[in-house]
Structure 1
Amino acid sequence: MRWQAIALALIIVVSMSFGSVLAGEGPILFKGSVGEDIQYQKSIEAVAISNGTVYASCDYRMVVGDELLSIYYLGVMAAYSTNGSRLWVNDSGYVVKIQPLDNGILAGGLGGFVFFDKEGHVRANFPTLNKLYDFAMRNGYVYGIDGDVWYSNGTFSSSGEVFKAKLLENGSLSIEDGWKLRLPTMPGRVRLGDIIYVGSGFPSGYSAKYQFGAIYGVSYDGELLWNVSTGWWVRDLELWKGNAIAGTGFNNTKGYILMVDKDGRVLWNESTFFVEDLLVVNDTLYVSGFDGEKGKVAAYDLNDKKLLWTRDFPYRAKPLAYGSGKLVVGTGKFESRKEGNVTKVYSEGGLYVLDPSDGKVLWEDRGMGYVRSLAVQGSLVAAGTGSSYFYVLDLSKIGESSGICGPAFLVFLTLLAAAAVRGGLNGGRAGR
């Protein structure tokens, strides 16, 4: 009986110690879809999570006419509960950013803004003059940027604007007590610090043959304070201690990281790979991109302007996110293949979760397809792919175990306990 008690106690201790790890549950909570019936090439370019709801927008371009007479930028947005149930779906236009609010959802896209209520009904629209690539919010106001690139008489040119508009209670926007400021090149990113920072150039996810780029400093009353030419597209723009950090890209192979203060002084200029996204966590800058052959992610100490680590990936590294002390990286590419008389576009790539201190891979899934967008709230991550699918993960389920703990180890201990019981019983009989 003593050996039986010891064996039973051993199994109980193992189950209690490793139960959460050995339950067989992976970090993926569910796989959702939106726009699954769309026949055009499609991609989930924007996701968001707020108060137990996941939002995902599937974007596509509809081409009308054999001679490409017209291109319509369209999209469909859906809302899911975090248990995987679809709540609603509605047309949204081509969405680049989703901003959940207390009374609804503000979606900004290439055609402007659409405001949805919590049930998914469209309550307001606010078209922009040109393509809207980004916006930010502060104190009930929306600060947006829109612009475009034109080709005429063999020459490329671009322009755009940054604007301030009041978000009204019904979800519409009013420019009456706001302003508009014309910019000489197309803006692609906007961030709000002590001043408004605007980056021009094709932002992450877009490209063209025409190279241009600048960082603009704008006051909150709409005055252009200064501009710094980058020459190359500003792919992403973030803030650190009141300074703007810009990541640029050129020729799909190389780029720069620049730090500019509120007076327009360049404090740091670092050569790097072609930048896709930037992420600032405390005093660390994470950079994703492509060097022409491999996907790249690098980490920099912003105080010392020092490279901490780099990691390579089989595909372009694009969106970055941070949650539960972990760094999330989306990677991938679009692969065109000729099948008979039809050219089909396939999404290839996957998702990685890294230790942000050294870049070590904690978890990966290489079969998701090209991960184009990420959103984090708490330990939950939404990952949109270059198709109609998105995934929701729980980061708290990654990195729970260490060493040899796992199902095989539990089987080993169970067999060991059984052997101990048999041995104890045999020994008991021999002693009687």
Structure 2
Amino acid sequence: MKRALALILLLIPFAMAQDVILWKGSPCEDVPYQKTIEAVAISNGTIYAGCSYKWVVNGTGLISVYYLGVTAAYSTNGTMLWTNDSGFVMKLYPLPEGKILVGSIGGLVVFDENGRYVDRFLVEGKLYDFSVDGDEVYLVSGDVGMVGNRSYPYGFIYKVRLLPNGTIVKPALWSLNLSTMPDRVRVGDVIYVGSGFPSGYTSRHRFGELLGINPDGRLLWNVSLGEWVRDIDLWNGKAVVGTGFGREGKLLVVDGNGNVLLERELFFVEDVEVHKGMAYVGGAEENGKLAAVDLNTGRVVWERDFPYRVKVVKWYEGKLLVGTGKFETKEEDNRTVVYNIGELFVVDPRNGKILKELSLGYVRSIAIESDTVVVGTGSGDFFVLDGRELSSKGVCGPGLTVLLTLFALPLGKKALSL
């Protein structure tokens, strides 16, 4: 009887997890390389996911890296509607009439409602981010070059117009050359552009600044930060900026005139989510970190540790969805195996209390529409969750991780052979 009771108790979290997870998508399951879902989106019941990977070719002493990937669309019941080559996907933005704007590492790509190619806009360097403002799109791209042992960042900002049929007007309305590498762009009181290596990237090169640009392409001001800009959110037209280098990082509020209104030392920042005057900041120090900061006073209301890096934070129905994880590489049987480890947490924004925990792997991206939550992971899979079950009372928590180990279900860890 005790054994039966123990088994029933063990199965409770599993049943709850099954209620939360509606289905799993794998847009590029046949790709034999390490792959990741860096971007997901959902609009009018259509789910979009970008599956991305790097193909490394070592020939004649030269190493070439190709950034490849596909974008796929699904109905909410899990039926794949279409898939198309798009390159390494950095960001997705749904457009009217079922079109999708894809920010791939080579530039912008537009697909129609059937996945057919409509248009593209190529950039110099690597595209890291874009921001849509009506029918206008602001893009930032760049790279870090080397001359001998000396590195130099460089970059570009573009403004293009997007027509209703999905065509991108060329040439760009304007472009700016920069002596830094821009990685984030947001449209607030001015066009805010941050430079550095964005969330998901790392390097030994230390630099970072925030630029203010007017809609006509004129540089208004420049604030030197000394750390990479990892993310930017907006608050009443101002920029809420998260930075990081090494284990250090800050949260800043900068207005449209370039005035630094708030500067708070935190930790290495990965993501910033602003809601009603509070900034929920995810990142890492030795382990994962999540902090709530009052933007009016700069006070840290609470701070919580997590087992792994906090990669993404989203507000949902009065709660925080917090994606965490890590990649772990091991040599096994003369091959490199990358383990994708992590959880999705539901957190009370009032005090940082963990309400639920769901083992999905390294959470890299989250998108929400009504009661549907889409979670992209570092395994190349994405999960579609029932938001009502996710935000309801109860725990999907630590028992799920144990259960997955016992039953060998592919939810908590995913091994990828390279």
Q: TM-score range by the shorter chain?
A: 0.7 to 0.9
Q: In structure 2, which of residues 56, 59, 62 is the aligned counterpart of residue 63 of structure 1?
A: 56
Residue 375 of structure 1: how far off its partner (Å)? 1.0
Specify the alignment match of 2:190 in structure 1: 195
* Change over 3 Å in CA distance of 1:230–1:107 after alignment to 2: same
Q: Given the alignment of the two structures, is residue 264 of structure 1 paired with residue 264 of structure 2, yes or no?
A: no
Q: In structure 2, which of residues 325, 334, 340 is the aligned counterpart of residue 332 of structure 1?
A: 325
Q: Given the alignment of the two structures, is residue 276 of structure 1 paired with residue 270 of structure 2, yes or no?
A: yes
Deviates more, 1:23-32 or 1:37-46: 23-32
2: CA distance, partners of 1:78 / 1:177: 27
Equivalent positions of 1:158-173 (< 5 A) are: 158-173=153-168
Equivalent positions of 1:307-318 (< 5 A) are: 307-318=300-311
1: CA distance, partners of 2:372 / 2:314: 11
Q: Size of the alignment, in residue pairs?
A: 379
Report the residue type matching 1:201 in the other structure.
G
Residue 69 of structure 1: how far off its partner (Å)? 3.1
Q: Given the alignment of the two structures, is residue 356 of structure 1 paired with residue 370 of structure 2, yes or no?
A: no
2: CA distance, partners of 1:88 / 1:174: 26
Specify the alignment match of 1:394 in structure 2: 386
* Change over 3 Å in CA distance of 1:116–1:340 after alignment to 2: same
Q: Given the alignment of the two structures, is residue 248 of structure 1 paired with residue 240 of structure 2, yes or no?
A: no
2: CA distance, partners of 1:265 / 1:273: 22
Q: In structure 2, which of residues 279, 282, 289 is the aligned counterpart of residue 288 of structure 1?
A: 282
* Change over 3 Å in CA distance of 1:323–1:23 after alignment to 2: closer
What is the alpha-carbon root mean square deviation over aligned residues? 1.7
Report the residue type matching 1:341 in the other structure.
N
Specify the alignment match of 2:399 in structure 1: none
Q: % of aligned pairs identical?
A: 51
CA contact (8 A) 2:238 2:256 kept: yes
2: CA distance, partners of 1:74 / 1:177: 25
Specify the alignment match of 1:38 in structure 2: 31
Report the residue type matching 1:30 in the other structure.
W
Report the residue type matching 2:316 in the other structure.
G
CA contact (8 A) 2:211 2:220 kept: yes
Report the residue type matching 2:383 in the other structure.
Y
1: CA distance, partners of 2:19 / 2:345: 14
2: CA distance, partners of 1:172 / 1:156: 37
Deviations 1:214-266 (A, max 9, x none): 00000010000000011110000111112111111111x11011111111111
* Change over 3 Å in CA distance of 1:152–1:190 after alignment to 2: same
2: CA distance, partners of 1:119 / 1:294: 43
Deviations 1:374-420 (A, max 9, x none): 111223211100112111112221343479xxxxxxxxxxxxxxxxx
TM-score normalised per structure 2: 0.87
TM-score normalised per structure 1: 0.85
Q: In structure 1, which of residues 357, 360, 370 is the aligned counterpart of residue 362 of structure 2?
A: 370
Specify the alignment match of 1:19 in structure 2: none
Deviations 1:63-99 (A, max 9, x none): 1234343211110111111112211111111111001
What secondary structure sits across from 2:19 in the alignment? Answer: coil
Deviations 1:181-230 (A, max 9, x none): 11220000000011100000001011111111000000010000000011
Deviations 1:159-200 (A, max 9, x none): 111111011234232244711011220000000011100000
2: CA distance, partners of 1:189 / 1:60: 21
> Which sections of structure 2, spanning at least 5 residues, go unmatched?
1-14, 396-418
Report the residue type matching 1:288 in the other structure.
G
1: CA distance, partners of 2:31 / 2:262: 45
Specify the alignment match of 2:108 in structure 1: 113
CA contact (8 A) 2:242 2:269 kept: yes
Q: Given the alignment of the two structures, is residue 99 of structure 1 paired with residue 93 of structure 2, yes or no?
A: yes
1: CA distance, partners of 2:358 / 2:16: 19
> Which sections of structure 1, spanning at least 5 residues, go unmatched?
1-21, 404-432
